[in-house]
Structure 1
Amino acid sequence: MKSILLTSGLFATHYIAAQTTVPFDTSHWEITGKMEHETFQGKACIRLLDASLYLKDTTFMNGIIEFDMTLSKDRYFPGCGFRLRDKENFEQVYVRPHQLGNPDAIQYTPVFNMQAAWQLYYGDGYSTAVTYPLEEWVHIKLAVRGTQAEVYVGDPNKPALVIHQLKRPVKPGRISLDNRGPVMTRFANFQYTKTDNPTLLGTFKPEAPPKPGTIMHWDVSNTFDEKRLDNSVTIPPDLASRLTWTTLAAEKSGLVNFSRISKLGDGSNAIFAKVTLMSDKPQIKKLQLGFSDRVNVYVNGKLVYGGQDVFMSRDYRFLGTIGYFDTIYLDLKKGKNELWLGVSETFGGWGIQGMIADPTGITY
């Protein structure tokens, strides 16, 4: 009995030691932007205004992150980052208080090369409706295990968001708190627990297999200025000659997130993705296409389509999210055909997905 009690005590001590409460000071956090200390509704807290805090511990991979925050129904984006490899590459969860109760009130997105991708990852497993009290304290908890995570908002027994699959590599990193936008957010009672087996209460769904005809590999170019494609019905030869290529595998949905390998910037906001289609005869094939934000489609060097799915381009609530919204009929010759997509981006997610509804008679 003594040995059992001793063992139990060791486990209890280990769990308590693993839970770390962190004060908001410069010895524990790197601070960028404006931070102020105050007491609100009886709690000592900080206020962040367009600012970020970066925990100096770089070893969080699996476990629980908890804190309290206050929110107001304004347009801003307070949240938490985790597994930060650096300030440009991390996992992120944030809330949109101005969308309280709407399907995008809370959001998970991977960040690659400083590019968030909420237009590529939305809906089940990425964003959902949530409600919470305004102008008073609400408790936030993230439970992270491997490629899965959950976010609890207020209710500790029911996850508000179940993240079926985190998109970045499972590697340790830092934790951050941030508030993007012109409205102040309060944070209090920050703590985290490192454990490889945090309790997860949600139902996790496996990724659906690729649909028939999905293009699963693209050759992706280096970046260039979108303006190079203006007023041209063919691919500019001087541009084509300077391109370098990387093969990028698609996710099971067919999605290719260009920010995994490229950084968006002024004068580098466009990219080519290409695939070779081998046809056994001259024929027309229907290409179902998703893209963000703008696309020029070339078949054998000639422009056949141009479109845009920019934020609010369809109506005032259109988020610019990617999907198979566009259909293009490809006029293929017998033998080798080159399909090139020039894809340009403003913000919110840079990517494509393509599927040929009936791939009979072609290989790619």
Structure 2
Amino acid sequence: MPKAPAIFPLTFVLASLAMPLAAQDNPPSFGGYELKVLANADGVSVAQRDGREVLTVSRAAVMLADAEFAEGVIEFDISFADQFGFGGVNWHVSDDGQDSEYFYLRQHKSGEPDAGQYTPVRGGLTSWQIFTDANAIAPFAYTHEGWNRVRIVVAGDKADFYFNGSTAPVIHVPDLASDRGTGGIAFRSSGPGGRIDIANLAIRPLAPGEAIIGQPAAVETPPDGVIGSWAVSQPFDEALVLGQLALPRAVASLPQIATVAVESFGIADLSRAAAPDDGADTVLVSTRINASRARRVRLNFGYSDRVRLFLNGELVFEGDAGWRVRDHFFLGTVGFKDAVMLDLRQGENVLTAAVSETFGGWAFAGAIADREGLKVDAQ
């Protein structure tokens, strides 16, 4: 259970001066919790400001030590400048800070459709390019002149997000996708102007009668014929498939490490199987298609960030949909936006995507609407 917020003398903080944690012999606490820096100690400080205890997180991440949280309410005030940056709160955080649920605000996008967003984090990878429907994103309107109030109600695998006194949730998340169920609480900020101030933190159990009241938003359904699961290989270096017209035998023989089921919206979040790393930023995502006769079918698909698509070992498509690779405004969000014709032979066919990831979500999705005479199986 989380500690109750404590009132305590800040005798170890120099009279309202915000000192970075790296410069302090005894790192301060905040809201009654000791702080554990996850990234960039120089960007984390605590100070007294206008009668408030304020935690500043500037292009950094910091965890509240021993704030184990499963369900209940997380409330806090947040302020930030109108500049290009991102900041918010993680919960159900793993001890190493690599896995969590995450809610953040885009500091520079007040009132825009994607001003605030929920996403899971796995292996340090934030999957914001995958979780992009109305159950994850909303047009929060906030002030840059003072404080904004955030209240998050968590029960089971659901969450409601309230903002600046709203009586109804601004976002309802029907499925907290990290599936951790419990863990720590942290604050993080990123981006060139990523800096947030946090005050008036409260972490508490659900009060009597307090519950999830939000309902799932009406969202676009996946296309017909969505392939429901994909076999995922051991990660490898993208260089092994660069410029290849056929899938190299050494890559094709890599062991399978997982079968990943797609999310409710039809996209496979590959971070469920692995996390990209230097020299291991690519996986093979595959399924088997048994055809009663030779025929041509349409595959609608989406991916992030880069893909080489092979049918029976031969390259049929190559593309790059990474963040900003096409123009300054290109986000690289994932949907069933591309299509390719697959010339299936009678009997077994193997559809394989070599999917490479840099930033924002590691994903693949595919759908074959016309299944006449076909059997599709990831195994």
Specify if TM > 0.5: yes
**Partner SS for 1:99:** coil
Equivalence for 1:165: 175
Runs of 4+ residues over 4 Å off in structure 1: 205-211
Does 2:338 match 1:353? no
2:231 maps to 1:219: yes
Pick aligned residue for 2:29 from 25, 30, 38 = 25
CA distance in 1, matches of 2:279, 2:73: 40
Question: Does 338-347 or 68-77 show the bigger shift?
Answer: 68-77
- Indicate how the Cα distance of structure 1 residues 31 and 352 shifts in structure 2: closer, same or farther if over 3 A, else same: same
The one-letter code sitting in structure 2 at the alignment partner of 1:358 is D
Q: 1:7: which partner in 2?
A: none
Query: For the structure 1 residues 360 and 21, does the alpha-carbon distance in structure 2 shift closer, same or farther, using more than 3 Å as the test?
Result: same
Q: Percent identity?
A: 29
Tell me which amino acid in the other structure corresponds to 1:338.
V
Gaps of 5+ in 1: 1-16
Q: Which amino acid aligns with 2:198?
A: F
- Distance in 2, matches of 1:125 and 1:19, equals 30
Task: Indicate the SS of the match to 2:108.
Answer: helix
Q: Provide the rounded CA distance (Å) in 1 between the counterparts of 2:148 and 2:170.
A: 13
Aligned mate of 1:188, from 186, 199, 209:
199
Aligned to 2:29, the other structure's residue is in SS state coil
- Contact 1:213/1:355 (<8 A) preserved: yes
| Secondary structure at the counterpart of residue 157 of structure 1 | coil
* Residue aligning to 1:14: none
Which structure has greater helix proportion? 1
Q: 1:312-334 CA distances to partner (integer Å, 9 max, x unpaired)?
A: 23443221000001001000011
1:103–1:123 Cα contact (<8 Å) kept? no
Distance 1:245 1:42, change over 3 A: closer
Q: Is residue 120 of structure 2 the alignment partner of residue 110 of structure 1?
A: yes
Cα contact 1:145–1:198 (8 A) shared by 2: no
Q: Give 1:5's aligned residue.
A: none
Cross-structure match for 1:55: 64
Q: Which runs of 5+ in 2 are unaligned?
A: 8-27
Could you tell me whether the CA contact under 8 Å between 2:232 and 2:273 is conserved in 1?
no
Q: C-alpha separation between the residues in 2 aligned to 1:290 and 1:321? A: 9
Measured against aligned partners, the alpha-carbon deviations of 1:162-221 in whole angstroms (never above 9, x if no partner) come to 222211225221111222244432111111112397333433359988653111121110
The number of aligned residues is: 348
Aligned to 2:89: 80
Give the distance between the partners of 1:22 and 1:52, measured in 2 at CA. 22
Amino acid at match of 1:75: F
- Contact 1:164-1:206 within 8 A present in 2 as well: no
Structure 1 equivalent of residue 18 of structure 2? none
Per the alignment, in what secondary structure is the counterpart of residue 339 of structure 1? Answer: strand
After TM superposition, the structure 1 = structure 2 runs for residues 269-348 of structure 1, keeping only pairs within 5 Å, are 269-348=281-360
Q: Distance in 1 between matches of 2:277 and 2:2?
A: 41
CA RMSD of aligned residues (A): 2.3
Which residue identity does 2:157 align to in structure 1? Answer: T
Q: What code does the residue aligned with 2:204 have?
A: T
> Which of 82-91 and 208-217 deviates more?
208-217
